[in-house]
Structure 1
């Protein structure tokens, strides 16, 4: 529960494991012990707590209930800890076997057993270790497990060897994991090998810094250096410190991290950006799937980020229309260029951006005066649009080809699609081998030669998923979605602009691919 939001009276069920276990009932001085364990919780949601403490009645009261499945298993199996139930007992034995540990009560064995379960299922669900978002959560868990293996004396890669014992323990619940066992093992092995190169040096640096410490807190700059140079997540550094009754200055760590981000932003050289100042109340109807020319009305004008009633020749501005064939930049695809014209004014569109539900045409008024409520003819640069559509089509071919060659764990992580080339960033646990790159090229080439038509359908999101359309994890989709199908090779949800793909060049990079549609990408 947070400080505000739905709340209500709570009822909790505790199980008494017996007086041979240290601990007291809730509210006592010994409540942190393990004798009395909460196994069930029921909250009668009746109120919505406001920031001032006021309790407003909920329009629809409800019951929020949850139980600890493994805690229930411990009760039913007459053991005193989750780690003693059959699932963990066998897994802990497997960890001891691969690490050479002999003390089965070791905390490190429990940590590794718990972490292999979360890591294996995360990877089988498509998460790959990285330095951001859920990929970084996975990386932190893996590296914490590796460090505990190091504490147990493991001298070689061991973590990936626990996938098979995990599958055996989980039984039918691990059916999908079993199908992806080889891939999951390879991801874990690669990650462990990479971290092993810096683990010893990082631990040595940390030991040295802690030996010189005069207080009880490791400074944030050192914690950041361990993260930045040796790949130590700050929580791993905090673990080491906690074992020595020390703390990490996590505020200082965040400040050092933010300073690095600020330096990166400053070095990028971006100038003033007025886009963040623009707020548009009206929506624009997009007609670009079917049209490249559209009669429209000016609904808003912005100059230097401020709303104005009119603009004059030579002025840079953003023009918002009630309807437009211009595609606003999104999903990695750049915005359209072209012209907005009427009998007395011409506006050169050099970019198109989205502002909420509105589409803004960015550019310069080359002749005349343009006012709000003026009628205008919107004309997309068709040659450029078609080049972009070719490259966008190629991203779908590349995505399907990469999944075919490397495995279904491959997922799009970013892209740039313009009129000269595309860049496709994707998740994979190691650099592509030359033969894999050739296979991807051959598959894309083959599909281009087939010249299959692109079929577009609009349907309910659930129906699209049932059809097998691939959705990007973490993306938000409306209830109605566009499904693009390229023969029997690719079916994806997509809001971009496409053509049948033909003519390409693939330029490989370890974790991204460049593609040019017959024009030099340089």
Structure 2
């Protein structure tokens, strides 16, 4: 028997042998189609190739594409587990031609693979064609030898594919397998086509037209091919099964679920085992592609899937978290084909375990409430919407989980009442929001939040993605369009741009579209969870509904992430070296530096800073993986995570762990953080502390550099050191010793110069003679550039000559006046040096000075007023007598 893995390999190898490039599956989160919640077809990653917005180095390709259909218009969630072929996750095999080959080769390739390589009997196959596509019908007759009874013409849109209202389109042709007359159902197009007898296995899309509104079509210059074969359906046929859940991969998962729960695989819980098996696949693959459980967007869909599986495990009697215990079986079955599962094993496991722990904590209480309320209902009556909302808001029950739990009792949910209760909650949240203080702008963004919902942030896993413009604001009002030169605020449905929050600055970059370019200079969060892009339109016209490609400035984001991750390591290093009293009091993580404020009662010494820096760089060199998990704030703190100052945390938080490869409790740093980070600590590159200073009482600020900024700083310092060594004519290694010698020589020379200046000044002062003012022998002297600190010594030297009663000296060094007055010991009762320097200071524009009656010193800003200062002293002496 061919296994599912064998079938996948055979398919890809077959097309590789016919010149097709094997292209790996793209992410389940589409980067090039903002209208899709998840990748729902194999052609999604090639959409821009088909529309000629992108070129590839190959013209034909083949893929095994991961697909999720559990949200939006492609939502199979409610049917999963209860039918033979509905799944939330499945694999779409396909081959593609980008203007290379067309209908004849596409039909021949498909027919040869199905009938020869896989050996399906021709008599069990039939095909459909679009009623107007006689060319395709003729080719099936010629290539496959099918007569008209097995070529069914479908006149409806079911057999005409469109990419959208405008764009490439074309007729389809499908291959069906006939399970035989003992299975109920009719051929496609018949009243009984929904039966299980005829199963579609492959759809060939002949992309040959371009459609413009209103429905006009023109031939494409290079017709293309897009095909899709559901691997699970095809495996069921090749393995002789009528039910996808009877194939090997599903049976392995169902068997594991049966062993785990001790419930028979085909017993009363048959549907539950199928739900668990299907949802295990979708949950693991979504987490591997960067989706984490959340209250809205893609994360909410993931949470719905996970909690639906977890409820079925609970129904089967599991008491402890069990969903994650099935992961090894999935890795064994699919890990080789999809290595991202293995690479993300720890993240998947921890996310599943944490989500089930949270859910189980509320499940019993929620189910008790549900039972209590349903017991009050008449038979068939719907559950009131406010009760369903209480289950959602208090116990974390998604609406569809409540609907699923009611399935067996025959009750439904009053969905309109649920929506009304949700609207009331949003209004309460809006009323309690503390925003920027700009009421008009806050009102605008809350209107947008109510209309469009939250922004989907894709920036954890990509820095470029397509988005759809939901709103344009210019001049603080919504506008229908804006043109080149206008400054605008733009809201997208999904974006890789990070909105400024948590100390991390917002991203910059570009939004581009057809004949449109917008330079984004900043990104902010508004109304809680809207991501708003601020910038200027460089060219073109911007309108709501416009499709754009959002591209983050990659180099700048990398630098920001390096600084943010370094901040986490810095925080923990400070706590380990200074003490656990250290807590964050503010931060800034930008592209060129980081700033980190901490509670710390004293300055951090140079030795301590060196220890911190060395410890951070040690962690960087270890190059451990940076792991993120999703959990409640209380759970995160219980595991040792630090909540950061000033942050507002919702019901769900991201926990960032560094310093341990598996993200366990043993991680070196564990913090609650919604910012962007490096993948491994080694990506930070280098860390260097540049300064430590006081901000306020008990708060110290550390500024540092990481990555290229640290490298540039170190290089600049090295260049300066080389330059200084060159000026001293020594090597860099000898520079410190040579500098110490020069400084000592300078100290000796300055001392000698000071002594000579004092002798010279003293000699000049004495030789200047003494004047008598009101019977007082007075010596005054302007000693020019003599250092002010030398004045007292000079004054004492002159007094010791015994020829004066008062000495007044003024220095004009540095353009400022400095004055010293000295009074002989036998004159201090009648003369006061403080009064003398005060008068001199005021004359030079100062406010007086201080000292003793025998020696005082003062200053003034006007050195040119020295003569006036001397005259003021003479006036004081005259008035004394």
Change (3 A) 1:398 1:19: farther
- How do 1:104-123 residues align onto structure 2 when only pairs under 5 Å count? 104=266, 106-123=270-287
Task: Indicate if the aligned counterparts of 2:174 and 2:203 stay in contact, CA closer than 8 A.
Answer: yes
**Separation in 2 of the partners of 1:78 and 1:48?**
41
Change (3 A) 1:396 1:319: farther
Task: Indicate if the aligned counterparts of 2:175 and 2:200 stay in contact, CA closer than 8 A.
Answer: yes
**Hey, what does 1:170 align to over in structure 2?**
334
Change (3 A) 1:154 1:266: same
Aligned-residue offset at 1:503: 5.9
**Hey, what does 1:286 align to over in structure 2?**
none
**Separation in 1 of the partners of 2:223 and 2:189?**
28
**Hey, what does 1:462 align to over in structure 2?**
none
The Cα offsets for residues 252-300 of structure 1, whole Å up to 9 and x where unpaired, read as 33332233222211221551119969xxxxxxxxxxxxxxxxxxxxxxx
Change (3 A) 1:14 1:181: same
Task: Indicate if the aligned counterparts of 1:128 and 1:428 stay in contact, CA closer than 8 A.
Answer: yes
**Hey, what does 1:266 align to over in structure 2?**
431
The Cα offsets for residues 368-390 of structure 1, whole Å up to 9 and x where unpaired, read as xxxxxxxxxxxxxxxxxxxxxx9
Change (3 A) 1:146 1:275: closer
Aligned-residue offset at 1:89: 1.2
Change (3 A) 1:306 1:486: same
**Separation in 2 of the partners of 1:138 and 1:67?**
25
Aligned-residue offset at 1:238: 1.9
**Separation in 2 of the partners of 1:20 and 1:26?**
17
**Hey, what does 2:684 align to over in structure 1?**
490
**Hey, what does 2:536 align to over in structure 1?**
357
**Hey, what does 2:289 align to over in structure 1?**
125
Change (3 A) 1:213 1:26: farther
Q: Which secondary structure does the structure 1 equivalent of 2:441 belong to?
A: coil
**Separation in 2 of the partners of 1:421 and 1:274?**
29
Alignment partner for residue 225 of structure 1, among 384, 390, 415? 390
Change (3 A) 1:173 1:55: same
Is 1:93 aligned with 2:255? yes
**Separation in 2 of the partners of 1:190 and 1:7?**
45
**Separation in 1 of the partners of 2:657 and 2:205?**
56
**Hey, what does 2:364 align to over in structure 1?**
200
Aligned-residue offset at 1:500: 5.8
Q: Which secondary structure does the structure 1 equivalent of 2:254 belong to?
A: helix
**Separation in 2 of the partners of 1:240 and 1:14?**
35
Aligned-residue offset at 1:393: 6.0
**Separation in 1 of the partners of 2:477 and 2:318?**
59
- How do 1:436-455 residues align onto structure 2 when only pairs under 5 Å count? none
Q: Bigger relative contact order, structure 1 or 2, given CA contacts below 8 A and separation 6+? A: 1
Alignment partner for residue 186 of structure 1, among 344, 350, 357? 350
**Hey, what does 1:4 align to over in structure 2?**
165
- How do 1:148-167 residues align onto structure 2 when only pairs under 5 Å count? 148-167=312-331
For structure 1, list consecutive stretches of 5 or more residues without a partner in the other structure: 278-301, 308-317, 322-327, 337-350, 360-389, 403-414, 444-472, 476-482, 492-497, 506-514
**Hey, what does 1:431 align to over in structure 2?**
636
Q: Which secondary structure does the structure 1 equivalent of 2:192 belong to?
A: coil
**Separation in 2 of the partners of 1:213 and 1:161?**
38
Bigger shift: residues 189-198 or 4-13: 4-13
**Hey, what does 1:240 align to over in structure 2?**
405
**Separation in 1 of the partners of 2:298 and 2:259?**
30
Task: Indicate if the aligned counterparts of 1:74 and 1:80 stay in contact, CA closer than 8 A.
Answer: yes
Q: Which secondary structure does the structure 2 equivalent of 1:33 belong to?
A: coil
Q: Which secondary structure does the structure 1 equivalent of 2:228 belong to?
A: strand
Alignment partner for residue 31 of structure 1, among 158, 179, 193? 193
Q: TM-score, normalised by structure 2?
A: 0.36
Q: Which secondary structure does the structure 2 equivalent of 1:43 belong to?
A: strand
Q: Which secondary structure does the structure 1 equivalent of 2:563 belong to?
A: helix
**Hey, what does 1:339 align to over in structure 2?**
none
**Separation in 2 of the partners of 1:58 and 1:474?**
45
CA RMSD of aligned residues (A): 4.9
**Separation in 1 of the partners of 2:287 and 2:478?**
47
**Hey, what does 1:43 align to over in structure 2?**
205
Is 1:73 aligned with 2:252? no
Aligned-residue offset at 1:201: 1.8
Is 1:397 aligned with 2:566? yes
Alignment partner for residue 226 of structure 2, among 64, 69, 72? 64
**Separation in 1 of the partners of 2:478 and 2:301?**
41
Change (3 A) 1:102 1:261: same
Aligned-residue offset at 1:420: 7.3
Q: Which secondary structure does the structure 2 equivalent of 1:247 belong to?
A: coil
**Separation in 2 of the partners of 1:150 and 1:115?**
14
**Separation in 2 of the partners of 1:485 and 1:216?**
52
**Hey, what does 1:213 align to over in structure 2?**
377
Aligned-residue offset at 1:27: 3.1
Change (3 A) 1:267 1:246: same
Q: Which secondary structure does the structure 2 equivalent of 1:44 belong to?
A: strand
Task: Indicate if the aligned counterparts of 1:394 and 1:501 stay in contact, CA closer than 8 A.
Answer: no
**Separation in 1 of the partners of 2:187 and 2:523?**
63
Q: TM-score, normalised by structure 1?
A: 0.58
Change (3 A) 1:320 1:80: closer
Aligned-residue offset at 1:147: 1.1
Alignment partner for residue 21 of structure 1, among 183, 207, 220? 183
**Separation in 2 of the partners of 1:352 and 1:185?**
33
Bigger shift: residues 158-167 or 13-22: 13-22
Q: Which secondary structure does the structure 1 equivalent of 2:440 belong to?
A: coil
The Cα offsets for residues 426-469 of structure 1, whole Å up to 9 and x where unpaired, read as 6444515676769x9997xxxxxxxxxxxxxxxxxxxxxxxxxx
Larger radius of gyration: 2
Change (3 A) 1:29 1:217: farther
Aligned-residue offset at 1:17: 1.8
Change (3 A) 1:276 1:156: closer
**Separation in 1 of the partners of 2:680 and 2:311?**
46
**Hey, what does 2:448 align to over in structure 1?**
none
**Hey, what does 1:342 align to over in structure 2?**
none
Task: Indicate if the aligned counterparts of 1:77 and 1:85 stay in contact, CA closer than 8 A.
Answer: yes
Is 1:135 aligned with 2:299? yes
The Cα offsets for residues 358-408 of structure 1, whole Å up to 9 and x where unpaired, read as 59xxxxxxxxxxxxxxxxxxxxxxxxxxxxxx9986314247899xxxxxx
Change (3 A) 1:133 1:517: farther
Change (3 A) 1:175 1:57: closer
Aligned-residue offset at 1:239: 1.5
The Cα offsets for residues 26-78 of structure 1, whole Å up to 9 and x where unpaired, read as 23333322221111112223445567555565565433311101111111111
Task: Indicate if the aligned counterparts of 2:179 and 2:197 stay in contact, CA closer than 8 A.
Answer: yes
Task: Indicate if the aligned counterparts of 2:184 and 2:197 stay in contact, CA closer than 8 A.
Answer: yes
Task: Indicate if the aligned counterparts of 1:23 and 1:34 stay in contact, CA closer than 8 A.
Answer: yes
**Separation in 2 of the partners of 1:355 and 1:490?**
28
The Cα offsets for residues 407-438 of structure 1, whole Å up to 9 and x where unpaired, read as xxxxxxxx985897699x96444515676769
Change (3 A) 1:99 1:266: same
Aligned-residue offset at 1:120: 2.1
Task: Indicate if the aligned counterparts of 1:420 and 1:517 stay in contact, CA closer than 8 A.
Answer: yes
**Separation in 2 of the partners of 1:176 and 1:485?**
15
